[in-house]
Amino acid sequence: MQRFVLNQKNRITLICAVLIVIGFAGGLVFKNETIAVWSLMVASLFGLAPIAIQAYQALKVKVVSIDVLVTIAVIGAFFIRNFEESAIVTFLFLFGAYLEQRTLNKTRSAIKELTEMAPESALKQMDNGEFEEVEVDEVDVGDILLVKTGAKIPVDGTVISGEGSINEASITGESLPVAKGKGSTVYAGTILDNGTIQIVADRVGEDTTFGKIIELVEEAQDSKSEAERFIDRFAKYYTPAVLLLGILVWAISRDLELAITILVLGCPGALVIGVPVSNVAGIGNGARHGVLLKGSEVIRDFSRLDTMVFDKTGTLTEGNPSVSEKIYYEHPDEALEYLASIEHESDHPLAKAILAEIGPVKLWSVEDTEVVKGGGIVATVNGHRVAVGNVAMLESENVTLTEQAKTDIARLEKGGNSLVLTAVDGELKILMGVRDQIRPGVKEDLQRLKKLGVKNLIMLSGDNQGTVDVVGRELGLTRAYGNMLPEDKAAYIKKLIEEEGQIVAFVGDGVNDSPSLALAHIGIAMGSGTDVAIETSNVVLMNSDFSRLPHALGLTKATFRNMKQNIIIAVGVVLFLLAAVFFSEWMNMSIGMLVHEGSILAVILNGMRLLGYKLRK
């Protein structure tokens, strides 16, 4: 019965409205007091039913909710035969709840839009080689799927044949299509704008990037910030306090109408809902723009940060370095083959650049490989001890550097190159300078971050100091440090937080820099939709678009401001109403409930403004 009544709440609201109109028409137009009284009495009882049920459910779990206050107030008004106010209060309360739900549903539009994008079916290759349409839940890892023009990609997978352009807005927030061909990675929920492709399923269902995005946004919108937890605790004690105040006023004044009016006016509805609606709208805006904010607490810390620390490669630079200059010492032919053999087994970004520069050469078997963390690789190739890495590592290998080599090293470092030295049996054979290009637009984005209040822009890199200085000067960074291992970066982040008392965000690739991402107040991963980036950070820029970073910071600042505005509105309205009931003649229960519901709608509409937030250029 309780469930039935609550499910009919909207219809009950409509019936109350009709009965109130009949009641006032009967009394004012037709001068029929009987119709007026009975219509308003029935409206009061009808409207009170769902409110009283909610109050009873709250009291069962030992919570004095807003519904309890309104129920007591309406019953009190009913017994003092103030049927006009009892009917109007119940209607306004129910109608306000209806409007709140409607507008709150809009703030959750990010989740709704994402779930609507989720693919429902797929064309799966069967045992006979034919493709048949199946439910997406029936697709397993390793299945081969056919995707035609206009269809959604059903799983995360790899293209095995065909070509096409894919709209990846659901993953990256970027609406421009991305060309895909054999070997390209595709993501569930994206749309094939044109072409036909076959893909092999790598991840399915909730394990897909799209599934994880939905899960993260849902968790973030359901999470509670420190402010929300405080307000929940405050409301837990505030609401009973209002009830006690009403009882105390009645005990002193014997004015029951004044006491029940205080119960209505003191309801903390706008205060309870103001902060959550700001959080939900802010997180929803971020999700639509390729920025995942993992929880309400992230918004508070992000909005207050004063220092942003960046990894260099793949963050401030494109992460696709190329050899800018090479210098050979003595006979380099065999050394080039040894170098290519070692780099062929490495997945380091510099390895690809070196292999592209060397070209096709004979490859030797590589044995006894030893990776020197932050230094390079030492291995045995064709019976020779070969060391490939930076200056510090070669010096630890007791490789002698001639004066000419030192001069060349200094010149390449000054030009902003990362150095790769190759020594064979303790003798330097090859010196290569590798440069990575700065991401287009990064300099302008860093200036926007400064305008948003970030005081310190710091770069930490494993590259040599010369390279780091060149990039730092070009981008106008506050500080730039080179020759840093992952543990050095983590130690520096710790120092900024503990010794200098700064609120720090670290921006990295989410893999090598995971200690720094974890230590910083806010870890920001240049994601490209990778699992590691999603799992290890507080904020993910889904398509590794650096320009989203100013938007993310501006959005969190706007969201935090919006929270404070809603708290001011909520508290201000309650104080105004309570002052009016004690110091004015015009305040009554109906007016108070109208203003109370208006304040709730005001904070909701204020929060909804965040759905359309865009950072001004």
The set of catalytic residues is: 311
Residue with tokens 């019953």: 75
State how far the Cα of 110 lies from the Cα of 495, in Å rounded to an integer.
38
| Closest residue by Cα to residue 115 from 172, 189, 168, 166 | 189
CB 180 within 8 A of CB 163: yes
State how far the Cα of 616 lies from the Cα of 238, in Å rounded to an integer.
40
CB 425 within 8 A of CB 380: no
Q: How many CB atoms lie within 10 A of CB 480?
A: 23
State how far the Cα of 323 lies from the Cα of 433, in Å rounded to an integer.
6
Q: Could you tell me where the beta strands, DSSP code E, fall in 425-466? A: 427-435, 456-460
**According to the 3-state scheme, what is the secondary structure of 180-198?**
ECCCCEECCCCEEEEEEEE
Helix (H) or strand (E) holding 523: strand 522-526
Q: Could you tell me where the beta strands, DSSP code E, fall in 253-306? A: 291-293
| Closest residue by Cα to residue 102 from 29, 172, 13, 164 | 13
| Closest residue by Cα to residue 472 from 448, 438, 445 | 438
Helix (H) or strand (E) holding 16: helix 9-24
The total number of residues written for the chain in this structure: 617
Q: How many CB atoms lie within 10 A of CB 616?
A: 6
DSSP conformation letters of 547-614: THHHHHHHHHHHHHHHHHHHHHHHHHHHHHHHHHHHH-SS--HHHHHHHHHHHHHHHHHHHHGGGG--
Collapsing DSSP states into helix, strand and coil, what is residue 464? coil
